[in-house]
Structure 1
Amino acid sequence: MNPSFKALDGTRTHLVNQLVFFDEQYPFFADTYLLGLTYHDRRMMDALLRKYTAGLISLLANEDTALQEKLHQVVLIGSSVKVEFEEDGSTDLFTVVYPTESDPDNNRISFISPIGRQLLCAECNSPLVLEVPDGTQRIHVREIKYAYIGGFDDQ
């Protein structure tokens, strides 16, 4: 078996585990991590997670070659995302992770953070207008790499 396709077995497992988590543990997740959100933000997060899980189901239906290609086309929990800021052309790299694994000093951002939820499900080479505390920033998603091995800690 091709080593890159063998690695996809682990990737499939991680993506399936995300689906299982959101299916079986959503009430726990919502009560733990979404409690402080406004009603509007909570509804937006619910809709985003429905979109995300539907996207995962569609993604997992692909054969290995197509899956490997698609992992570089859409931002998932576990994706490293290279963004280019339109204003000055600078770039930054973020990894979108679960809330328990966020580390802003190392650009590991939770998918429920303001920037994380705007990046989740974004597509490669797509422009975005990020809402940030001091206004907006126009960015382009330039590169996506999926290489995730984490998950929520059992609590």
Structure 2
Amino acid sequence: MRHSLSPLSAARGHLVRQLVYFDERLPAFSNTYLAEFNPVEKKLIEDLIREYMEQLSAALEHDDSVLGSRLKTDILIGSTVKVTYDDDGSADSFTLVYPTESDPDRNRISFISPLGRQLLCKKTEHPLVLDVPDGRLGLKIREVNYGYIGGFIST
């Protein structure tokens, strides 16, 4: 008899795999995907990944009801984030993904991109001021939904 995983069990499994990946392969990830960054930026991204790992560990310590709630508030790799802009009230959605799965035309942004770095580890209703090429842009995180089904292509 075949048992299928609940969506929450599948999400937990994927988050555990993320945590294990970064725990075991952060130096290799850094050498591969952060080589183009200057040393200061590289350290900031590595520190963000460590913060992310702490956030994942804390979320995974809880039972499924708490984890399910956090998947709707915490921005993780695999979260789709709906934001509204302060200047005109317009809305946009982004999904945070691994660098190998980035596709800006489909609003799939790498968590190491400038926007991705500013969103990762934030929570719903969190106001942000993003640094963008044209200056600064205020926005508020309105909705977070974790539904990641992709994987990571490691090198």
2:60 corresponds to: 60
How far the C-alpha of 1:106 sits from its partner, in A, is: 0.6
Q: State how far apart, in whole Å, the 1-side matches of 2:135 and 2:21 are.
A: 34
Aligned pair in 2 of structure 1 residues 93, 47: CA closer, same or farther (>3 Å)?
same
The alignment's TM-score, normalised by the length of structure 1, stands at 0.94
SS in 2 for 1:153: coil
5+ unaligned residues in a row in structure 1: which ranges?
Answer: none
- String of CA shifts for 1:6-34, please: whole Å, max 9, x gaps: 21111111000001110111122101110
SS in 1 for 2:6: helix
Match runs of 1:6-155 below 5 Å: 6-155=6-155
Q: Equivalents in 1 of 2:131, 2:47: separation in Å?
A: 18
Instruction: Report SS of the residue matched to 1:150.
Output: coil
**Distance of 1:44 and 1:102 partners within structure 2:** 20
Identity of aligned residues (%): 50
> Which AA in structure 1 matches 2:85?
F
Gap regions ≥5 residues in structure 2? none
* SS state at 1:136 partner: strand
TM-score (norm 2): 0.94
Task: Please tell me the residue identity of whatever aligns with 1:49.
Answer: I
Distance 1:146 1:59 in 2: 13
Structure 1 residue 154, shift from structure 2 partner? 3.6
1:25 is paired with a residue of what secondary structure? Answer: helix
Mapped partners of 2:139, 2:35: distance in 1: 29
Q: Compute the displacement of 1:116 (Å).
A: 0.4
Superposed structure 1 runs of 4+ greater than 4 Å apart: none
CA distance in 1, matches of 2:112, 2:154: 18
Name the aligned partner's letter for residue 92 of structure 1. Answer: D
Alpha-carbon shift at residue 131 of structure 1 (Å): 0.8
Shift of 1:151: 2.1
Paired amino acid for 1:13: G
Q: How many residues align?
A: 151
Partner AA of 1:71 in structure 2: L
* CA drift at 1:152: 1.4
The whole-number CA distance in structure 1 between the counterparts of 2:24 and 2:152 is 13
| Aligned Cα root-mean-square deviation (Å) | 1.0
